[in-house]
């Protein structure tokens, strides 16, 4: 009798929430979401090993248990014509063993964008890309997909009231079919109803690091993509590839360049400060439409990175990036 009464009360509660326009997804969307952003995990071409800094990052993830881990690309060390199929498969097997299995064990969803070393969108690396696609189709992330028809090349999903779009920016050229898809995604009711919108791709819009301040290392016609994101009220664009940490702002769009956790961290353009290996934590509160950034120098024992330690502006070949004072 007591069980039946509890069941009746539960049913009435659900009915009340439905009739009053409140649903469980909306309740869930009001909570703060924690997202750990990592990028550029790879070392030398063909490497199946991951360095100590990535292991430190994984330990940080184990301790903090974020709601999502987001990787801005380069999970393995491909993009070399001399790598055999056996080597390419071994790299993805190592990624699964050392990273993906641990995140699955912790029940933490993993979102990613393909980097140039994962399987660049280029005829020269068609087989690498096929192997990456096969791997991800066999290891489908536990995400609430909105559109996965072109997964893993590009896709969208929702989590706690935040609308995420992964684009294929593994090379500087983003095909017109993908741009049209992105327009449709950002113009959809799901996107418009979300209180925070995040787009992520491997290459940044504007150059920020030494050694990557050249065409081919940023998205071609960056202003065109910026206008598309800005006009559709995207709050944040996340990228990797430049192996340097920086957060900039242009109009209302924030741009997070995630630092590398693998080999080859780089200095910021115009800066003599030593390069850092970093990760970022986003605290997203859709109800108040706020994004808070917490950034850490992994190589220095997770020392917090302060905005005052960074250049107030960076002049790259294709534009100026102005520092967003995240603290």
Residue 29: the pLDDT is: 52
Please report where in the chains the tokens 């199929």 appear, as a residue.
85
pLDDT beneath 70: ranges in the chain: 1-30
Give the Å distances, CA to CA, from 101 to 97, 109, 119, 160, 326: 6, 11, 21, 24, 32
Measured N-to-C along each axis, helices 176-186 and 222-231 cross at an angle, to the nearest 10 degrees, of 20
pTM of the model: 0.91
The phi and psi torsions of 157 (rounded to 5 degrees) equal -155, 165
Cβ atoms 202, 122 nearer than 8 A: no
Cβ atoms 313, 320 nearer than 8 A: yes
What gap in Å lies between CA 324 and CA 36, rounded to an integer?
19
Secondary structure string (H, E, C) spanning the chain: CHHHHHHHHHHHHHHHHHHCCCCHHHHHHCCCEEEEEECCCCCCCCCCCCCHHHHHHHHHHHHHCCCEEEECCCCCCCCCCCCCHHHHHHHHHHHHHHHHHHHHHCCCCEEECCCHHHHCCCHHHHHHHHHHHHHHHCCCCCCEEEECCCCCCCEEEEECCEEEEECCCCCCCCCHHHHHHHHHHHCCHHHHHCCEEEEECCCCCCCCECCCCCCCCCCCCHHHHHHHHHHCCCCEEEECCCCCCEEEEECCEEEEECCCCCCCCCCECCCCCCCCCEEEEEEEEHHHCEEEEEEEEHHHCCEECCHHHCCCEEEECCEEEEECCCC
For the chain, the domains span 1-30, 32-322
Residue 31: the pLDDT is: 78
What gap in Å lies between CA 236 and CA 290, rounded to an integer?
11
Q: What's the token pair of residue 319?
A: 């534009």
Note the pLDDT tens digit of each residue in 22-37. Answer: 333 333 455 799 999 9
Provide CATH code, domain 32-322: 3.60.21.10
What gap in Å lies between CA 283 and CA 36, rounded to an integer?
9
Residues in the chain: 327
What gap in Å lies between CA 33 and CA 161, rounded to an integer?
9
Strand partners, 294: 281
Note the pLDDT tens digit of each residue in 240-284. Answer: 999 999 999 999 999 999 999 999 999 999 999 999 999 999 999
Closest among 218, 224, 247 to 322, alpha carbons compared: 247
- CB environment 62-74: b (16+ within 10 A), e (fewer): eeeebbbbbbbbb
């Amino acid at each position: 009798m007591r069980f039946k009464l509890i069941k009746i009360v539960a049913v009435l509660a659900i009915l009340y929430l439905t009739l009053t326009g409140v649903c469980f997804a909306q309740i869930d969307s009001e909570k703060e979401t924690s997202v750990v952003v990592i990028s550029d995990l790879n070392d030398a071409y063909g490497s199946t090993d991951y360095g100590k800094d990535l292991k430190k990052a994984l330990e940080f993830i184990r301790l903090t248990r974020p709601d999502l881990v987001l990787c801005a690309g380069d999970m393995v060390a491909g993009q070399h014509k001399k790598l055999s199929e056996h080597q390419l498969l071994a790299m993805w097997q190592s990624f699964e063993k050392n990273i993906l299995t641990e995140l699955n064990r912790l029940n933490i969803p993993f979102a990613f964008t393909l980097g140039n070393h994962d399987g660049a969108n280029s005829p020269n690396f068609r087989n690498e890309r096929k192997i990456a696609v096969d791997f991800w189709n066999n290891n489908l992330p536990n995400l609430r997909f909105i559109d996965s028809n072109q997964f893993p090349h590009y896709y969208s999903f929702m989590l706690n009231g935040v609308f995420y779009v992964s684009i294929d920016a593994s090379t500087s050229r983003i095909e017109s079919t993908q741009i049209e898809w992105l327009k449709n995604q950002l113009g959809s009711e799901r996107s418009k109803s979300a209180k925070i919108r995040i787009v992520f791709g491997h290459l940044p819009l504007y150059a920020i690091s030494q050694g990557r301040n050249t065409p081919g290392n940023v998205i071609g016609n960056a202003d065109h993509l910026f206008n598309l994101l800005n006009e559709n009220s995207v709050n944040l664009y996340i990228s990797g590839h430049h192996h340097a940490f920086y957060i900039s702002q242009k109009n209302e769009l924030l741009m997070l360049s995630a630092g590398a956790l693998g080999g080859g961290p780089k200095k910021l353009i115009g800066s003599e400060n030593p390069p850092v290996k970093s990760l970022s934590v986003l605290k997203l509160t859709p109800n108040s439409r706020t994004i808070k950034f917490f950034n850490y120098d992994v190589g220095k024992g997770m020392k917090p990175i302060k905005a005052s330690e960074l250049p107030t502006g960076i002049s790259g070949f294709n534009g100026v990036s102005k520092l967003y004072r995240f603290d």
